[in-house]
Each structure stands twice: as C-alpha cells, then as structure tokens.
Amino acid sequence: MSKKLKKCLSVLLKLTIALLVISPFYIALIYSVKSKQEMVTDRLAFPKTIHWDNFTRAIETSNFVLALKNSLLTTLLAVIVITLTCTMASYIIARKNNRFYNLIYYLFVGAMIIPFQSIMTPLYINMTRWKLLNTLHGFVFAKIGFQIAFTVLLVSGFVKSIPRELEEAAAIDGAGMYAVFFRIVFPLMKPIVLTSIVLNALNVWNDFQMSLTLLQQKQVRNIPLTQYFFFGENSIELGLAFALFILSVIPILGLYLTLQKYIIGGITQGAVKG
Amino acid sequence: MNRKMKKQLQEFTFILPALVMFAIFVAYPFLQGFPISFTKWDGMSPNKVYAGLKNYTKIVGDGNVMNAVKNTLLFTAVTMVFSNLFGLLFALMISKKSKLNNVLRTCIFMPYCLSLVLSSYIWRYVYSDVFYEKFGIASPLGSTTWVMIGLAAISVWRDAGYCMVVYIAAIQGVSIDYYEAAELEGATWWQKFRAITFPMIAPAVTANFTLLLAWGMKVFDYPMAATAGGPGRASETVAMLIYNNLFTYFKAGYGQAIAVVFTISIFAVSTLVSKALRAREVEI
C-alpha cells in the first residue's frame, strides 16, 4: 500500500514539474486568441470567446507569408547542403586517420569556440562587397559555413562506430568511392543524419544574430526578425504579436515531434564522444 | 603512383566542399578581423586609420566593457550551474523507459525548440503578468540588480531540457549490474548516485558544462529582445557591445579589438574549464 502511494506521489511530482516547464506556453496560447478587451480585464483567465481574428490580422499586417517563405527556403537549403557536405567530410575524416585529416578535424574543434562577433564586421563587409548582403542565398552560405564545424564533429564520432567490413567488401567488388559512400555508408548513418537535420534546422530556423546582421531589408526578413520587429510595433496589441508567435512555432515543433526519438541518441553521440 | 594520387585526390573531394564553405565564410573573415582591430574605422568609409595598440589599451579603462564583462560572467555562471542542476534532476527522475516518461521528456525538451527571441518575449509576460500581478514579485527585468538573473532564468528554462537529454542518455548507458551489486549490499539511493551514477556520467557533465559555458559567454539574443540592454546598461553583454560598436556607434575598429580579446578569453576559459573537468573525470 505504501509502495503504491509512493508511486502515485512520484507520478504526481513528475507531472507537476512537466506542467510547470510548459506553463509559459499557456500564456502564448491564450494571449493569441484573446480580444483586446479581454486582455485588459483578465489576462490569465481562459478566453471566453476564441478570437481567431488575431491570426488573420497578424498574417496580413506582419508579412508572415513572406517571412515563412524566407525561413522555409533558407532552412531547407542550408540543412540540405550542410547534411551532404558534412556527412562526406566526416566520413573521410573518420576513415583516413592521417595527419592531414586530423589537422582539419582539430581546426574544426577549435572553430566551434569562435563567437559570431569575432567574424561579424569582416563578414558584413565581405558580404557587401560580394553583393550577398540582404540576399537569402548570402545568408544561407554564411549559415552553412558557421554550422560546418559543429556538424562534422557530431557526425564523425558516429562514423567511427560503423563497421568497415561492408565498405571493404563493396570496394573489392569494384565499387567506386562515391558509390560506396552513397549506397552503403550514407544509409547506415541515418540516425545521426536525422539528429543533425533536427539540430541544424532548429539552429537556422531560430537564428537571430546572423539574420540581424546580414538580412537588413524588409523583403528578406525571416521569422525571428519578423517576430522581433513585429513585437516592437505591436507591444500594445499583444493578441496579434502572440498569434504570430504561435504560427511561427508550428513548423519547427512539428519537425521536433516527428523526429524527436533521434534527438536523444544523437545529441549524446556528438556531445559526449565528439 | 599515378593511381595512388588519383585516389588521394578523390578522397580530397569528399572534404573539399565543407572546407571551402568554412574557409570563405568563417576562417577568412576571422583572420581579416585582426588587422581591423588595429585601426580607427567607422565600418563604412574606404580609409582606415592605423591606430596601433590604441584600441587595445582603451579596452582596459573602458567602464562599458567592464560592465559588459561583469554582466556576461554573471549570466554564464547562473545558466551553467542551474541548467545542469535542473537537467540532471529531471534526468534522474525520468531516465527509466516508460510511456509516461517519454511524454514528460518531450514536454521538458520543448522550450528548446523556441527561438531565443520568442522565449524572451513570453517570459517578459510571465514576469509581468504572473510574477507581478499574481504574486506581487516585481519583474527582475526592470531592476538593475536582478535583470541578468531574470534573463538567465529564461535561458535555464530553455536549456535545462537539452542538458536533461544528454544526461538521460548517459544514465541509460550505465550497466545495470553495478546497481544490482550495490543493492545486494544494501546501498541507499544517495550512495548509489554518489558511487555509481555520478562518476559514470562524468563525460556528460564535462560536455554540458563546456557547452553551457560557450553559450553563456556568447549571449546576445535574450538581452537584445527582452531588455535591449536595459535598464540603463544593466543587461548589456559583451556580444551586444560588439554589435553596437559596429551598427550603433560606428566604431568598427574598436569593436573588433573587443571581439579579438573576447575570442581569446572564451578560448582560454573553455580550455581551462574543460581541462579541469576532464581531470576530475579521471579522479572519480
């Protein structure tokens, strides 16, 4: 009996903690569907009428569709290129353990520490000179460059754990290096590839600092910039601001919930072994 | 000979794209930063004036830099300790595989998916509408003493889930045999934690502390979105100060000098901390 009670208490405690952690989401959710009047009377109460109007008006006045398009495009492109270039690079680094590739590996380890501020001014100037400032592809290039070190460290730790026998057998059968990589190694890397996709997608999608520096015109604003400027303009009409916030979270939460089981395994692979 | 070279060249093509992108957009601007830091320059005009070590000597006596350093260090210390503490506590509670624990894990990791900008805005209202309106606790974001702690709390909320995930995986990696042996000898929960779990997950502790340290030192988004560095300059961080030197004060040369010192400091501190933690790993 007392064991059962203990179990009950522990479940209750766990549930309370989880609820506390996600409780700030409640604020964002109810503020997004409250009318202006209700916001004044009792902010935290559950809304009496659901005010969907906030969403339609937020979409219209914030240029949300454009921001969503910009964010989806940049995230998709960056993640595809990062995944391809970094899995190939990690493969060769993990398999060829010679001085040259080790040197590159340690170069990336060191580069992980570089803060964005130390390259901000030169990057800004180069981008202006190369006509890449205020362009989506310019932002994608810079984002790819900045995520390479992290991703290579994450993935190469995993490649070391893949047995070589299959590759060697394929090589004896006369398959070229590219065929071996894309037909045999890449499919085996699936768990770590998915982890790196989620982590890089989160990083690019949520990037604020590099966006603020490289995307300074309205037509190239992505979601974090739109959040930032829209909030500045709508701190009085909170319903609109929070409706926009909810909309902007849906795609990335969707990705997280579909791929979440790959996050746990992958983060540890990279964080602990890498 | 020719075939060997061909093979090596083919191998090199595997790393070439990543290396090129990294070189153009990270390594090259990083190196360009050093000469800029020795100039007096507004960031736009074509002529930079060579200033020698002037920018660097100026940093030492600059109260704004010292203020930013102090704010950044406070933020880093709080986030490093508490994200790990909560992360580890949550991990210990829900590391066992079960349906309920899975759901709870999903919930606790969820804040990590939000952008830092959005987390900051939500918490502005958690502080003003819940803390103040419901409990009468003034928002820390309005106080010069508490603002960095208030910002750090947002970061702890967002990053504890990340730490938890790393700890859970580490805990699940510990062989069950150890616990069974300890139970036979009648070890208490705390004894098991001290003697088995904690030493076994030491690599995860090192990884999390180093990561949180790096994130903390680079903090930019939270103060930028939640307080704009205020009240006054009470929440201006080093990263913000460098940004402002380029885009607000037009002192790119001076900003770059701060950035160079900043990078070297992060490098030194990270190396020291990870060395100390690694040494501790061996000890226990």
The answer to the question of residue A40 being in a domain is no
- What CA–CA distance (Å, rounded) separates A246 from A32? 7
Q: Find the residue in A nearest to B158 (Cα).
A: A21
For residue A62, the chain B residues in CB contact (below 8 A) are none
Pair of tokens at residue A93: 């680094």
Q: Which residues of A touch B239 (CB under 8 A)?
A: 115-117, 209
pLDDT at position B284 over 60: no
Which distant-in-sequence residues (6+ apart) come within 8 Å of A10 by Cβ? B93
- The predicted pLDDT at position B283 comes to 64
SS3 call for B50? strand
Neighbours of B9 (CB within 10 A): 10
Å between B145 CA and nearest CA of chain A? 24
The count of domains in chain A is: 1
Give ∠ CA A126-A132-A137 in degrees, rounded to 5: 130
3-class secondary-structure state, position A157: helix
The first and second tokens of residue B90, run together, are 């949550």
Work out the percent of chain B whose per-residue pLDDT is above 90.
50
Of A13, A88, A115, the CB nearest to B239: A115
With beta carbons under 8 A apart, name residues in chain B contacting A10.
Answer: 93
Residue B119: CB partners within 8 Å, gap ≥ 6?
B111, B154, B157, B158, B222
Confirm whether A18 is domain-assigned: no
For β-strands B39-40 and B49-50, DSSP reports them as antiparallel
* CA dihedral sign, ordered B78, B84, B85, B89: positive
Q: What's the pLDDT at A274?
A: 36
- For A130-157, letters b (16+ CB in 10 Å) and e give eebbbbbebbbbbbbbbbbbbbbbbbbb
Classify residue A3: in a domain, yes or no: no
Nearest alpha carbon to residue B65 among B282, B218, B258: B258
Tokens of B223: 């103060």
- Is the CB of A115 less than 8 angstroms away from the CB of B262? yes
- What end-to-end distance do the CA atoms of chain B give, in Å? 51
- Return the structure tokens found at B106: 């999903």
| Domain membership flag for residue A81 | yes
Cβ <8 Å between A115 and B263: yes
- ipTM of the complex as predicted: 0.88
Show the domain range for A212. 47-273
| pLDDT tens-place string over residues B209-248 | 988 998 999 999 999 999 988 898 999 999 999 999 888 8
Are B22 and A148 in contact by the 8 Å Cβ rule? The answer is yes
Report the C-alpha gap between A124 and A126 in whole angstroms: 6
Residues A141, B24: C-beta atoms closer than 8 Å: yes
The predicted-structure confidence for B105-121, as pLDDT tens digits, reads as follows 989 999 998 889 999 99
B122/A248 touch (CB, cutoff 8 Å), yes or no? no
Chain A residues touching residue B95 (CB < 8 angstroms): none
Q: Searching chain A, which residue's CA lies closest to the CA of residue B204?
A: A272
A270 CA: distance to closest CA in chain B (Å): 9
Q: Which residues of B touch A89 (CB under 8 A)?
A: 14-15, 17-19
Residue B50 pairs in a beta bridge with: B39
Q: How many residues does chain B have?
A: 284
The residue assigned the tokens 């100060």 is B241
Q: Do A31 and B125 count as a contact with CB atoms less than 8 A apart?
A: yes
CA distances from A18 to A83, A259, B105, B116, B182 (A): 33, 20, 8, 20, 31
Q: How many other CB atoms sit within 10 Å of the CB of residue B12?
A: 14
User: Does residue B38 register a pLDDT over 80?
Assistant: yes
Bridge partner list, B49: B40
Distance CA A2, CA A4 (A): 5
Residues 202-241 of chain B with CB under 8 A from chain A are 203-204, 207-208, 211, 214, 217-218, 220-221, 224-225, 238-239
* Banded pLDDT at B17 (limits 50, 70, 90): very high
Residue B32 contacts residue A122 (beta carbons within 8 Å)? yes
Q: Which fold has domain B64-283?
A: MetI-like fold (1.10.3720)
**Cα–Cα distance, B77 to A9 (Å, whole number):** 33
Q: How many CB atoms lie within 10 A of CB A255?
A: 17
Give burial (CB, 10 Å; 0-12/13-18/19+) of B252: buried
Domain locations in chain B? Answer: 64-283
Residue type, A103: L
Q: What is the pLDDT of residue A261?
A: 76
CB contact under 8 A, B169 and A264: yes
Name the stretches of chain A with pLDDT < 50: 273-274
Evaluate whether residue A57 is within a structural domain. Answer: yes
Query: Which residues, 6 or more positions from B284, have their beta carbon under 8 angstroms from its beta carbon?
Result: B198, B199, B202
CATH of the domain at A128: 1.10.3720.10
- Residue type at position B200: M
Does A28 reside within a domain?
no
Give the residues across from B40 on adjacent strands: B49
Q: Quick one: CA dihedral A106, A108, A111, A112, positive or negative?
A: negative
Cβ–Cβ below 8 Å for B133 and A125: no
CB contact under 8 A, B262 and A101: no
Q: How many CB atoms lie within 10 A of CB A94?
A: 20
Chain B hits for A224, Cβ within 8 Å: 115, 117-118
Domain assignment present for residue A20? The answer is: no
Classify residue A107 as exposed, middle or buried by CB count within 10 Å of its CB (0-12, 13-18, 19+): middle
* A124-160 pLDDT tens trace: 999 999 999 999 999 999 999 999 998 998 888 888 8
Write down the pLDDT at residue A36: 78
pLDDT tens by residue, B52-77: 888 999 998 899 999 999 999 999 99
User: Is pLDDT of B157 > 90?
Assistant: yes
Q: CA quadruple A174, A177, A178, A180: dihedral positive or negative? A: positive
In contact, B234 and B140? CB cutoff 8 Å: no
Contact yes or no for A111 and B27 at CB 8 A: yes
Beta bridge partners of B39: B50
Rounded to an integer, what distance in angstroms lies between the CA atom of residue A266 and that of residue A268? Answer: 5
Residue A239: other Cβ atoms inside 10 A: 24
